[in-house]
Structure formats: C-alpha cells, structure tokens
C-alpha cells in the first residue's frame, strides 16, 4: 500500500456525538438563560471546535460579548463532561474499517478539534482507544483544523511523511487541513460538515464508510511519480 499511516477525524467520522453535544448545549443555554437551539441547529454548528460551537449557539442578531462567551464555555464544559459518551454511538462500518486498517499494519491516529479533556475519555468509553498510536486534540497544537498543523503534528509523532499519510474525515475542515498538510483526503458522507453535504470534488475520494476507505486506499496510485 502507498500509505504508511492513516489519521481519522472523530466527531462525525468515527462517532455520532451530536446527541451528547446537543444535550450539553441545552443544559448550558438553560443555565445562562439564553434561547434554546434545536438539535438540527447544533448539528450545523459543529465543526470548528468547542468555542465556536458555543459562540454559534449564543449568536442571534449579534454575537455574544467576550464575558458572555467565556461564562457559556465554562458552563458547556461542565455539562459536556457529565454527558460525554452517554448517547454517543459508533457509526456503521467503523469497527470493521478500523480492524482492516489495524490488520494492514499501518500506524493509526485521531486528529480532532474536540478538546483533549473530552477526546481520550470518549475514546476509552467507546472502546476505541487501543486502535490508535496517537491522538491529537483541538488543544494539542496552537491551531485547529482546517489549519494543517494538527495533522502535521500527528505525522511527526507517527514518524511518517505527510504524503504517505491518509486523512479521513467528514467535513471541509478535514479536507482543507489534509491537503494543506500534503496528505490525501478521503471523506465520508454521513457526518456533520457544518450542515452542508460533502462535495466529492473537494476530496480525493468520497467513501461510504471506513471499510470502503480501506479498499479504496488499496487501489491508490501516486500519479505524481513515474
């Protein structure tokens, strides 16, 4: 296989976490006395990390003040810590796909915008932690996806050149981060992507699930090399 490692997004790619995120948003908004958001709205707000999710929940005619946002973030963290993993489910095809990738001998990692205080606990709770050689969370590096730094950081730890790493996610943030890092980017169609369908023209392959991603990777040929 051309690839020596594979990195995965978490929310919307490996795990359907929207019910927990929506519940934490509901509890946070109730606590601070702000208007509620529907699960569909929260679904659209996910993608650029915790602070952006909270800010989007609070933004109506105008964005919240810095003080309001900071208070809301503290509240959200407390509530999300209590519900993290409670209603989360593993997407179909994920376990079969991870097993196939693991059996191939490739090194594996998670690169997510979720804060570290929630990421590793969630992976442990869902029984996925042992699949991965590295976990890069939203606060591991100075930048989050779509910046390439989190994926580049994972590649350094894995000891793999970025052009030999495949990144799999559900959103334009994953695709842009991977391409900026010099990686191939595969996308699954069932995730969040801030409420928009993934455009197959933006990624190197649109795959139905992680097992399909593995089979697609087996056929990859680097056309830049003669």
Active-site residue flag, 202:
no
Q: How many helices (H) and strands (E) does the chain have?
A: 9, 8
Rounded Cα distance between 83 and 117, Å, is 13
Q: Which H or E run contains 134?
A: strand 134-136
Transcribe 64-133 into DSSP letters.
Answer: PPHHHHHHHHHHHHHHHHHHTTTS-EEPTTHHHHHHHHHHTT-EEEEE-SS-HHHHHHHHHHTT-GGG-S
Task: List strands edge to edge, sheet with 184-187.
Answer: 134-136, 107-111, 5-8, 165-169, 184-187, 205-206
9, 11, 174, 209: the catalytic one is 9
Contact criterion met (CB below 8 Å) for 110 and 226 = no
Which residues have a catalytic role annotated? Answer: 9
């Amino acid at each position: 296989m051309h690839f020596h490692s594979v990195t995965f997004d978490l929310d919307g790619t490996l795990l359907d976490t929207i019910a927990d995120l929506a519940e934490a948003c509901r509890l946070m908004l109730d606590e601070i006395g702000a208007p509620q958001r529907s699960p569909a709205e929260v679904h659209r707000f996910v993608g650029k990390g915790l602070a952006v999710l909270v800010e989007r929940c609070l933004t109506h005619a105008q964005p919240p003040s810095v003080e309001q946002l900071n208070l809301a973030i503290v509240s959200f963290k407390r509530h999300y810590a209590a519900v993290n993993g409670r209603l989360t489910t593993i997407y179909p095809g994920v376990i079969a796909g991870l097993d196939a990738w693991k059996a191939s001998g490739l090194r594996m990692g998670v690169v997510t915008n979720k804060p570290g205080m929630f990421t590793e606990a969630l992976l442990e709770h869902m029984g996925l932690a042992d699949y991965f050689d590295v976990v890069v969370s939203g606060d591991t590096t100075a930048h989050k996806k779509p910046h390439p730094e989190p994926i580049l950081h994972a590649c350094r730890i894995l000891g793999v050149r970025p052009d030999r790493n495949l990144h799999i996610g559900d959103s334009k943030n994953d695709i842009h981060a991977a391409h900026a890092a010099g990686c191939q980017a595969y996308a699954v169609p069932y995730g969040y992507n801030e409420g928009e369908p993934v455009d197959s023209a933006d990624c190197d392959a649109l795959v139905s699930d992680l097992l399909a991603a593995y089979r697609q990777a087996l056929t990859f040929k680097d056309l830049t090399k003669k």
